[in-house]
Structure 1
């Protein structure tokens, strides 16, 4: 497998170094300072999840999980993403899968896409925060509910961080304790993300004030085998009730629906009492399904304000049209800033439309949403 993967990448201009297990991968990263690492999950000596943790703690690097177990073991892949891996790519079949050569275009596209990713927001401090959130939320969740590594080095050199848009709007002021604030009734929030998104989405949902009582729709570019596990992990980590959407699902305040992999999620009906969603197998939009634009544009058409659209890290332009539609419908729009976006494509394209109200770092987006939905009016005198 290392030979096949290495040959594919070498043919496309990468200098490749190989390591036979997780521990040797950690050493190879320290020695070669690679631009990108592809990492299996199941390996001797040290598995991929441990290796990701060690690398992100000592030499933060762009890591792509590439393993037969990413398809069968979504939980392990999501754990690796939580610990700092930036993306993943599933092999087409079993443990020793030489037909990975058939995935060479996707492999090269993924490596190319993350080669300049800024992983500072995925490094240990955030990983530690995520671990703390997971531990702290266990008790709360219980109260709420019953019962082989290849290091691939590109000679192109150092990664660069995309510059922020100098014309981007300023962040809103931080508000007071959510428990002491009043918020608009029946708010709806639509969040879109791609590469690097799961961990950012996790942080936002954890920090989102339950007092908002919002209906939240999340579109994360991810295969069908992973979105249900993502929903389960998020449900255990935040106060909102999170589930993968089913066709015809209804959502009310305090609930989150995750668009299932390979299905578009659009709003079919909206009222103060809640929303009803429809799942479709319509053509891919911007080459993806689910598409952020599909959900955001349907929300803009059918949902009355207060409505908030959020464009997070990822490659491509999915979400730009949706953000524009939400702004035109009277909603508030937020984009993640370049400094905390592992891949700044989606937020950059949204900002370029001129329809983004606030550009915020990842850890201020939940507060920004709260500010946008606050009914507090300052008084003087």
Structure 2
């Protein structure tokens, strides 16, 4: 199997060396070059034709967002953004909107245990994005709704959606297609590090007619609103003293690889809304959502998966489809209409 040819882009010599050392621990990765800024990186990518690029955000001459934009216009390549802090969230989101595949925290002078975990995560991300058949297409935000006109929901009381790598781009395309009077609540788990879900929800709200916000403990689950689970907390449902369904946030269960977990969201939706749940599993690495989809199906609900051709990484949807839990595989371009049709 060919090695994953990787180029590192960072103006810090320390970070370039740290990332090279980390990636060199994998027998599957070959670091073929290192650039100090976006302009150097454009030339290096053209010369070396890497499979993956890791890229800093803030650099002289041409920064990370500028590099992503220019490289995507030249020749799309999977780009993994390295970020120093959640304070950079707005710029990270701009890089994702411009075509970067994913992002991860960059190495700093941390304790050995933190560096070990970071190394493993970095290697996993590089190997994952290298499997991308083609980098995410930067889809324009739809100017009009492609979904069916809103009507009272007949079959569904809630839509729950799980998504990971490639998720920010897909959600920017999907969510703006729904009308402000969408007839049921929409609750989303997007795998993101701490500090990034609130800024992403704000950016998504700017282009959507639905009310979009990061969920908080006790907030009502109501039609016309899309809630994004906050990073670091599982999102489930409970009823308040008035009998209304509200959000409950918790670090439990601790044995899930992701927090928030799509499985936890889906299971709670199935236990709360029974057969009147529409689950949607979209682009992402791993199999989060498979167990949750089984809960939805066991209660008589419906599960849609994004089709392989339109996924950045066909991991989560594949796990659901191969388990026989998907009612339909749907292209991203048709997902809004399909969701509306199933209500």
Instruction: Report the TM-score when normalising by structure 2.
Output: 0.87
Aligned in 2, Cα 1:286/1:349: closer, same or farther, shift over 3 Å? farther
1:251 paired with 2:251, answer no
Q: Which residue number in structure 2 is paired with residue 72 of structure 1?
A: 87
Contact 2:153–2:184 under 8 Å retained in 1? no
User: How far apart are the structure 2 equivalents of 1:119 and 1:284?
Assistant: 34
Per the TM alignment, residue 88 of structure 1 is displaced from its structure 2 partner at its CA by 0.5
Per the TM alignment, residue 359 of structure 1 is displaced from its structure 2 partner at its CA by 0.2
Q: Which residue number in structure 1 is paired with residue 267 of structure 2?
A: 297
More helix by percentage? 1
Q: Which runs of 5+ in 1 are unaligned?
A: 138-174, 374-381
What SS does the aligned partner of 2:333 have? helix
User: How far apart are the structure 1 equivalents of 2:234 and 2:214?
Assistant: 12
Aligned counterpart in structure 2 of residue 33 of structure 1, from 49, 56, 62: 49
Matches within 5 A, 1:183-332: 183-184=153-154, 187-269=157-239, 275-332=245-302
User: How far apart are the structure 2 equivalents of 1:351 and 1:240?
Assistant: 29
Contact 1:186–1:215 under 8 Å retained in 2? no
Q: How many residues align?
A: 325
Per the TM alignment, residue 187 of structure 1 is displaced from its structure 2 partner at its CA by 3.0
User: How far apart are the structure 1 equivalents of 2:124 and 2:96?
Assistant: 19
User: How far apart are the structure 2 equivalents of 1:344 and 1:61?
Assistant: 17
Per the TM alignment, residue 98 of structure 1 is displaced from its structure 2 partner at its CA by 11
User: How far apart are the structure 2 equivalents of 1:177 and 1:282?
Assistant: 36
Aligned in 2, Cα 1:177/1:84: closer, same or farther, shift over 3 Å? closer
Q: Which runs of 5+ in 2 are unaligned?
A: 1-14
Q: Deviations over 1:311-345 (max 9, x none)?
A: 01111111011112212222221101111111111
What SS does the aligned partner of 2:284 have? coil
User: How far apart are the structure 1 equivalents of 2:231 and 2:59?
Assistant: 28
User: How far apart are the structure 1 equivalents of 2:158 and 2:262?
Assistant: 15
Contact 2:146–2:337 under 8 Å retained in 1? no
Q: Which residue number in structure 2 is paired with residue 108 of structure 1?
A: 123
Contact 1:252–1:274 under 8 Å retained in 2? no
1:2 paired with 2:23, answer no
Per the TM alignment, residue 283 of structure 1 is displaced from its structure 2 partner at its CA by 3.2
Contact 1:286–1:318 under 8 Å retained in 2? no
User: How far apart are the structure 2 equivalents of 1:101 and 1:321?
Assistant: 31
Instruction: Report the TM-score when normalising by structure 1.
Output: 0.79
Which structure has more RCO (C-alpha within 8 Å, separation ≥ 6)? Answer: 1
Aligned in 2, Cα 1:301/1:180: closer, same or farther, shift over 3 Å? closer
1:50 paired with 2:66, answer yes
